[in-house]
Structure 1
Amino acid sequence: MKRRLFLLSGAAATLCARGDDAAPPPPWLHEEWEWQDEARERAVPVRIYRPREVQGPLPLVLFSHGIGGSRRGYSYLGQHLAAQGFASLHVQHVGSDRALWGAGSPFGLIGRLQAAAAPSEALNRVRDLRFALDRVLAQPSLALDAGRIAVAGHSYGANTSLLLAGAAVPQADELALADPRIRAAVLISSPPLHGVPEPERALAAVRLPSLHITATADDIVIPGYRSGAHERIALFEAIGSPLKSLAVFEGGSHSVFTDRANTGGVVANPRIKQATKELVAGFLQGVLGDGDLSQLSPWRQRHQELLARWVGPG
């Protein structure tokens, strides 16, 4: 198993080399592993963000990227969660990752995207998360709390998270998709469950606390597939979570929640990211802690002008 440890960003490392003018290191660090699921003959690369100084067992967030993404995406979220006392494990799904964009002729892109959205890959993505969770919990040196685990994802990754959180969909074999270790779900820009019989019934089966995040211009437009922002809200309304919250930002875009810097507006982009990472951390601190979500009320007040709609405490 190849292992790489990253203690500082390049900029921070340069500053530290200056001696007296050195800036303090960030409160987080990240590490990468090149895992292999031998049973499926499938690579499962991961990156974990965690606090630099660990105090007690860490709650864990299992993160799934969108189509064409990688373990190195959504770094703003992983870094913030680590700074707030979480471990955030970002899993790369090799059948639907960034290799799609450069693997072969541009004329074959639609076919590659369709293959990446096939039921077999959707199931493999869930199995990637379950495999990664098994592996990371088997490392006692990370000091993870097996009783405080959440799943999170963006776009296709939100669909993957739904399956792990208990969405009732037909399966090709007897392997259970829902993982009883998962205590909460964060669903960012979640597309509808296309191709799933009785999707409302499937969503009603999800009973974990759930946080849904979208934007009024959160439209998915890729070759062969379109999905409007209204479908994110419909999914929120259909999900069976007794405890659920929804944040809809004004404007934005589907990719504003990724690490891309300018999409959704040069001014709005960093503000939406800031509000998103604060909301995710606050929600998970509540539902994985004592259940107190009162801190979301001041969050709403701080970011009120960004919100087109809010459903939740306060």
Structure 2
Amino acid sequence: MRVKFRCLRCPSWFRFQILATVSVFLTAIPARAAERLYVSYGLFERSVSVSSLESYAEDGTVNADLRFFLSFLDSDLEEELQRALNTRYELDPVAVSQSFYDPIGETSLRYIGRGIQTGGRQNGLYALRAALVQAAAEPGGFTILDVLRRFPTQGMRVDLKVLIEGLRAAKTFLEETNQVIDGIQFLARASSETEIPIPAEVLSLSEPGPFQVSTQTITLRDDQRDRTYPADLYLPEIPDAAPGSVPVIVISHGLGSSRKDFSEIAQHSASHGFAAVLPEHIGSNKDLQQAVLAGRANEFFRAREFVDRPLDVTYLLDELERRNQSEWQGRLNLKEVAVGGHSFGAYTALVLGGATADFDNLHRSCDRESFIEFLNPALLLQCRALELETTEPEAVQQLTQGLQDPRVRLVIAVNPVNSVILGEQGLPQIQLPTVIVSSGFDPAAPLIPEQANAFTWLTAPEKYLIVVRGASHTVELTTLINRTVDPSVAIEQIEAEVRVFRSNLRALLLAFLQVYLADNSEYRAFLQPFYVETLDDPPFEFSLIRSLSQEQLLQMINGELVREEDHF
């Protein structure tokens, strides 16, 4: 059997879930304020003393009241729990405070507080936040027990029913995600497309191209929006390049990210003859994130970024047009450009390609239970757009009418957040070639609600869905998850696997630029499902499909494998 991906094939995955859940059950206790932790499931309730947990953490002593809880764990999990209780973490208390006072952080903590409650059975949001902030100020780092000792109420109640239901929902969601990936892989292999051979003279897309690359930073000042921001230009040095002969791609970074995170892709694309431009979205970038963590700002992004991000790119293209003749001898082709992006940047690309916002859908989808019901943290980001209705109604009008840039000819959206803010009404407005790339194990912007559904709603004549089994939302998260759930694998091996994955993804994205921007039709051979599957390098497996119906997606979610006779 082929390897699917390490996180789900690993025997310790379910054990990891159990440990994480039990750790929450047994350790969210205030040793200073409460004598006992009360654990309930419906009418059933048991308790354990705080001193028992402290003794267990210190030397492994198991008192009578703790023995009941540990009876559900095997010896390996008991040892892991003891280590977890004693592990020290070093976090800036200001950063912790700012993170959980931010609207997204507070909302996330409120959901946790549904299961971890105060002694009076109230949501544990505020008590948990206070305990975390105080514990983070502990010299030399803090343990979970330090957090528990600072829980500020006279009792702690853990609602096992809520937490176990959440764990079961997560397990079901993971199973459904794997079933959808299996279904997409089946459709890719069953594709009726004729295999097109790759011409021998075509350059290898994974290797650096033939051109040297020069870089420069442009500072843009948009007086109308009172916004100053930089952008990096990666320009291929092509001797005697004709006017308008160098295609352009703009890459939009994600929330809490930076333009520098995409320098590798920009360098690679430029070496193959494409000018790559990386704008910095100053209202939702890494610098703002760091400012929040240092206490210099109070939120990780501003709701107006839903509008400012697309306008950043449009203003950038205007500026490149103004400078093209004088600074680059008119070489840049700015009449037909590609816009790519990751996560929030992928939302940006979709809007520039013609997608419009659906505020009615936001109102229907953004109640307090949506995040937990759909296990989709991306909702927390998208639902903040509703703030614009009271703060900047003109921004709502702009998003509803659309911010499409007519110069955009290709959209590449990697792990986009879009299902609610754009949705079934907004995404069909895109009528350009559109590529959606999805990571199979993405806890931040999950495959099914954010990319698979979005792909079924697209009506663009040429559209592609690429699914990578084994990848997560970011490279860092992919590495962290693999290290966490399968610690037996050497970090060097994981990093080597990730490097191959990134190289394959760069090559695939470059093929789309060659076909749709440079008009090099011979590169269409790389856009075949058969070729994409050859990029497999476990634990990462690539699949590409050109169409997917809602009916097919529902069959996959329900575990009904798509049969060839039903759909071909």
Normalised to the residue count of structure 2, the TM-score between the two structures is 0.45
Q: Which residue is 2:339 aligned to?
A: 151
- SS of the residue 1:72 aligns to: helix
Q: Which residue is 1:287 aligned to?
A: 516
Alignment of 1:293-312 (within 5 A): 293-297=524-528, 299-300=531-532, 302-305=534-537, 306-312=540-546
C-alpha deviation, 1:172, in angstroms: 3.1
C-alpha deviation, 1:93, in angstroms: 0.6
Per-residue CA deviation, residues 28-69 of structure 1 (Å, 9 max, x unaligned), is 221111221111110121001121335332100011100112
Q: Which residue is 1:268 aligned to?
A: 497
Residue 32 of structure 1, aligned match among 214, 217, 236: 217
Alignment of 1:34-49 (within 5 A): 34-49=219-234
C-alpha deviation, 1:268, in angstroms: 2.8
Whether 2:308 is the aligned partner of 1:124: answer yes
For 2:543, the aligned partner's letter is R
Distance 1:61 1:44 in 2: 18
Q: Is the 8 A contact 2:535 2:542 kept in 1?
A: no
More helix by share: 2
For 1:190, the aligned partner's letter is P
Q: Which residue is 1:191 aligned to?
A: 417
C-alpha deviation, 1:173, in angstroms: 4.3
Q: Which residue is 2:288 aligned to?
A: 100
Q: Is the 8 A contact 1:44 1:132 kept in 2?
A: no
- SS of the residue 2:430 aligns to: coil
C-alpha deviation, 1:271, in angstroms: 1.6
C-alpha deviation, 1:294, in angstroms: 2.4
Alignment of 1:42-191 (within 5 A): 42-54=227-239, 55-56=241-242, 57-105=245-293, 112-113=299-300, 115-116=301-302, 118=303, 120-139=304-323, 140=325, 141-142=327-328, 143-169=331-357, 171-173=395-397, 177-191=403-417
Distance 2:402 2:440 in 1: 35
Q: Which residue is 1:255 aligned to?
A: 474
Higher relative contact order (CA 8 A, sep 6+): 2
Name structure 1 gaps, 5 residues minimum.
1-24, 221-226
Name structure 2 gaps, 5 residues minimum.
1-209, 359-394, 483-493, 548-568
Q: Aligned residue pairs: how many?
A: 275
C-alpha deviation, 1:296, in angstroms: 2.4
C-alpha deviation, 1:103, in angstroms: 1.0
Task: Provide the identity percentage.
Answer: 26
C-alpha deviation, 1:106, in angstroms: 6.0
C-alpha deviation, 1:261, in angstroms: 9.5
- SS of the residue 1:39 aligns to: coil
Structure having the higher Rg:
2
What root-mean-square deviation, in Å, do the aligned CA atoms of Structure 1 and Structure 2 show? 2.7
Q: Is the 8 A contact 1:247 1:307 kept in 2?
A: no
Deviates more, 1:57-66 or 1:70-79: 70-79
For 2:355, the aligned partner's letter is A
For 2:415, the aligned partner's letter is S
Cα distance change, pair 268–240 in 1 and its aligned pair in 2 (3 A): farther
Per-residue CA deviation, residues 205-252 of structure 1 (Å, 9 max, x unaligned), is 1111011112211221xxxxxx32222222122222210112111212
C-alpha deviation, 1:282, in angstroms: 0.5
For 1:131, the aligned partner's letter is Y
Whether 2:436 is the aligned partner of 1:204: answer no
Normalised to the residue count of structure 1, the TM-score between the two structures is 0.79
- SS of the residue 2:505 aligns to: helix
More strand by share: 1
